[in-house]
Amino acid sequence: MAPAAQNSSQNNSAGFVKYTIVLSNNTLINGNFINGQFANTSNGQIPFGVAFDSANGYIYITNTGSNNVWVINGATNKVIANISVGKHPQGVAFDPSNGYIYVANYFSSNVSVINGETNTVIGNISVGSGMEGLGSYPAGIAFDSTNGYIYVVSEFSNNISVINGVTNKVIANISVGYSYYGIAFDSSNGYIYVSNLESNNVSVINGSTNKVIANVSVGKYPTELAFDPSNGYIYVAHAGSNISVINGATNKVIANISVGSGPFGMAFDSSNGYIYVSNFGSNNVWVINGATNKVIANISVGKHPQGVAFDPSNGYIYVANGGSDTVSVISIPAIAKEYKAPFMESVLLIYITITIVILVVAIGVVIAIRRRRK
C-alpha cells in the first residue's frame, strides 16, 4: 500500500496538522502524512500514551509494540531518546514535584519511573494483585498535585494503586468497579475520577482520604477521561461514539456529546479552552468547545489515533497514531489579539481628552466669576 499524504491546508479555527513525526526513522514531515507503509503493527511500532514534561519541554510517548518510550523535544519535534521499560507500556504521567515520568507496564504488572533529567529508568514499582494468579495489568495513570500521589488503574485487579511520589512506594489500594484504564484528576475539588468499563460508571475518589465517595452512572463502556479546569467538568469517552460530561461540583452528568467512531484519548488546551478527542475508528480528532460543550471541528490525523497531550510551551497538540507509527502535531491558530489603537489615533484621543478637561475647567471659572459679580 503506497503512502498517502495530506497537506497542512486543512486549516480551521480549532487547529490543523502542521507536522507528522514518523517514529521509526525520526523524520519530520510537513502536513498530515498518512504512513501507509506501517498500516499494520508488524514493525512493532505502536504509539499509545502521551504525556508532556513541563520541566524539560519534552513529550513522552509509550510504544506498546516494542516496550519502550520515545522522547520528543517539543522545540524541534524530533525524537531525542528511546527508553526501554516494561512489557506493553500504556498510560504515562508526569509528576512535576519530582520531575519523574511514570509509565504503566500492562504485561509486567509494574510502573517504570523515568528521571526526566537523564531520561533513564530509576526504578520499577509493582502494583495491584491479579485475580486467579493473573497479572494486575496496570493501564491508566494520573498525578494528583494536591497530595503528590500517583494513581494507577489496574484492569484485572479492580483496584487503584496509590504511589507516594516522594518514596515511590505503594501506600494504598482502593477498590473500585471493573476498571479499564481511564483516570483523571480534578484540581478544583481534589477528586480522582476512574472509569469502570463493565460497570458503566465512574468512581470518584477523595484524594485526601483515598476513599470512594461516589459512583456516577454514565453511558456504556466508559474508557478515557479528561478534566477541564476552565469549567470544572470531567469528560468521559465511551467505546461507542459519545462523550459524557460530568460536573465536578455536583458529580452529575450534565451533557452527552456525539463524536466520531471510537473516542479514545483526550486533552484540554488551556490556550483556547477546547477539548481534543482522538477517534480510533474514524482516524481523526474532534474538537469540543468547553464553553458550549459543542463539537466545533474535526481534524484528520494518522491511523487509529490514541493518546493525546497538549504542550503549553509551544501550543501544539500531540496525537499518537497507533496504526501508522506516527505522531500528528496539531497547531492552533493564534487567537485574535487585543486591539491596540495606532499611534496617531492614540495621540488624537489624548488631545481630545485634554481639550475637554480644559473646556470644563474654563466653563467652571466663567460660572464662578459671574456668580461673584451678582
Nearest-CA neighbor of 70 among 321, 61, 118, 308?
61
In the three-class reduction of DSSP (H, G, I as helix; E, B as strand; rest coil), residue 146 is classed as coil
Alpha helices for 84-233 (secondary structure H): none
Q: What pLDDT is recorded for position 148?
A: 97
Global confidence as pTM: 0.85
DSSP 206-250: ETTTTEEEEEEE-SSSEEEEEEETTTTEEEEEESSSEEEEEETTT
Report the Cα–Cα distance between both ends of the chain, in Å, rounded: 101
In sequence order, the β-bridge partners of residue 166 are none
| Cβ-proximal residues to 211 (8 Å cutoff; 6+ apart), any chain | 174, 205
Q: What pLDDT is recorded for position 34?
A: 81
Maximum separation of any 2 CA atoms in the chain, in Å = 107
The b/e string for 330-363 (b: 16+ C-beta within 10 A; e otherwise) is bbbeeeeeeeeeeeeeeeeeeeeeeeeeeeeeee
Whether residue 316 contacts residue 327, with contact meaning beta carbons closer than 8 Å, is answered with no
* Cα distance between residue 49 and residue 331, in whole Å: 19
Whether residue 86 contacts residue 105, with contact meaning beta carbons closer than 8 Å, is answered with yes
Q: What pLDDT is recorded for position 40?
A: 45
Whether residue 304 contacts residue 313, with contact meaning beta carbons closer than 8 Å, is answered with no
pLDDT in tens, 159-176: 899 999 999 999 999 998
Q: What pLDDT is recorded for position 368?
A: 57
Nearest-CA neighbor of 114 among 106, 124, 105?
124
Which set of grid coordinates corresponds to residue 191? 477528586
Segments in the chain below pLDDT 70: 1-11, 35-43, 129-134, 179-180, 335-374
Nearest-CA neighbor of 275 among 38, 15, 2?
15
Q: What pLDDT is recorded for position 265?
A: 95
Give the strands of the sheet with 252-258, arranged side by side.
Answer: 222-228, 233-238, 242-247, 252-258
Residue 266 phi, psi dihedral angles, 5° rounding: -145, 150
The fold of the 4-331 domain, in CATH, is: Methylamine Dehydrogenase; Chain H (2.130.10)
* Cα distance between residue 305 and residue 327, in whole Å: 9
* Cα distance between residue 362 and residue 142, in whole Å: 68
